[in-house]
Amino acid sequence: MAKTKIAYFCQSCGFESPKWLGKCPSCQQWNTFVEEIIEKSNGSVPDWKATSSTTQQRANKPVEIPDIVFSEEQRMLTPDKEFNRVLGGGIVAGSLVLIGGEPGIGKSTLMLQLALSMPNLKILYISGEESEKQIKMRAERLDPSEKQEPQATNHEPKINFNSEIKHPKSEFGKGCYILTETSTQNIFKQIEQLQPDLVVVDSIQTLHSSHIESTPGSVSQVRECTAELLRFAKESSTPVFLIGHITKDGMIAGPKILEHMVDTVLQFEGDRHHVYRILRAVKNRFGSASELGIYEMLGEGLREVSNPSEILLSQRDEPLSGITISATLEGMRPMLIETQALVSTSAYGTPQRTATGFDTRRMNMLLAVLEKRCGFKLGAKDVFLNITGGIRVEDPAIDLGLAAAIISSHEDIPIPFKTCFAGEIGLSGEIRAVNRVEQRIAEAQKLGFEQIFISKYNLPSGGKDKKRIDLTRYAIEVRTVGNIEEVFGLLFG
């Protein structure tokens, strides 16, 4: 009999050690090593047949860049435009995509809704957490044909617990196959028989391989199962989606190497007690890693939000102080967001500085600029900032809108309606130029705003002739400013 191999793995980064260590030499974390039993397998993973007959053998020799034959990768478009945007234009054949998020945020609903929306493809949905009946109940909730008004009756229906409820068989969900299995060897046997066009695994922490004797969810099991699915995806050109759990710190559970192995990492964010969800690309080898998609969680599933500016702007009947509209960019998408500020007298010795959806250190920098360059006494004031809609913004172009909201709350003077801002504030109080300002102006004009404040140093995107932006082609009034004192003079007199 083969000798049992015991190794110690770091639960934080996946570092392997033959003996227990108190401190991980890779990630410098303490008390993260756990003991796992490993058994080397004599068998090899079956050779997968490529779905394309034009697949060529990769030459094991150096090749010059001009000699490399490049062709556009074939992408699989889904009916979900937000999902296509985050992936970079669609699903790439043979890609391995990891989706992480908090419990109950809607990861399984998103992937099941995706599988049900493409009846022309053969999709295998593998679940290690739910039974077939549970998935069937969720599928019926997502079925648009099941939305029927309840009929009012005077008598309560009689319930027969010994009979099964039979529903008429519909075409909804055709092409979507459900497999409740956790063994990778059994999963690959079913994949060989079914030959699916797309595979969804819910979740990677529930799978286990017979090549490793440790428990499911351990570092070695997650790494081995992901490696087998990666080999299958690349050799068969079948896209595979993995749903992953997260830790209490918000990181994807398992070794850090899991994120390095996959092609794309998507983060499903949002508060599960609110209706809006954000699908953000953290890593993407086939597109931009700064795209995001916005969804609305409804009773019948997730609805894509095509115009996020409308949901991020509140409808107010009267002007209120401390509220401004800022033009920001998320990936290639311009959005108008509502920035709120509240400045009040501190009741304690140390003033409070709290920011929701914005970097607190940058907020402290803006407060220092306002006090040093403009003379506003904010050192003894409590300052609270909030980005509405539950999103987090890192674009420095909202600095001007936040500064205007802070002064508006401090002076208790509301900002005029239909006014938005797009500018970065420097330490000397100057308004710096922001990138792709034309898209920000066009978005504000589309939503009916009357004026927008931008930096006078802005140049057109990619303009090498140093010409200023042509302001005559916009119906909205574009007001160019050079420093923060000029902005406050135009707003508050």
User: Is 101 assigned a ligand-binding role in the annotation?
Assistant: yes
With beta carbons less than 8 A apart as the criterion, state whether 124 and 200 touch.
yes
Q: Is 81 annotated as a binding residue?
A: no
End-to-end CA distance of the chain: 87
Q: Measured between alpha carbons, how far is 409 from 407 in angstroms, rounded to an integer? A: 5
Please check if 128 is assigned to a binding site: no
- The answer to whether 104 is annotated as binding is yes
> 448 in helix, strand or coil?
coil
Euclidean distance between CA atoms 274 and 300, whole angstroms:
15
**CA geometry: angle 309, 106, 293, nearest 5 deg:** 30
Half-sphere exposure of 290 (CA within 13 A, CB side): 10
Distance CA 279, CA 240 (A): 18
Residue pair 419/449 in contact (Cβ under 8 Å)? The answer is yes
According to the annotation, is 90 in a ligand binding site? no
Tell me whether residue 108 is annotated as binding.
yes
Amino acid at 267: Q
Question: Looking at the DSSP assignment, which residues form a beta bridge with residue 96?
Answer: 240
CA 323/CA 338 separation, integer angstroms: 7
Annotated binding residue 18: no
State how far the Cα of 280 lies from the Cα of 290, in Å rounded to an integer.
7
In the 8-state DSSP scheme, what is residue 464?
S
Angle between helices 484-492 and 360-373 (to 10 degrees): 80
- The torsion defined by the Cα of 165, 166, 171 and 175, in degrees rounded to 10, comes to 70
Q: Judge contact between 194 and 179, C-beta under 8 A.
A: no
Token match 């509301």: residue?
414
Count how many residues are written for the chain: 493
For the chain, the farthest-separated pair of C-alpha atoms sits apart, in whole angstroms, at 87
Specify binding-site residues.
101-108
Specify binding-site residues for ATP.
101-108
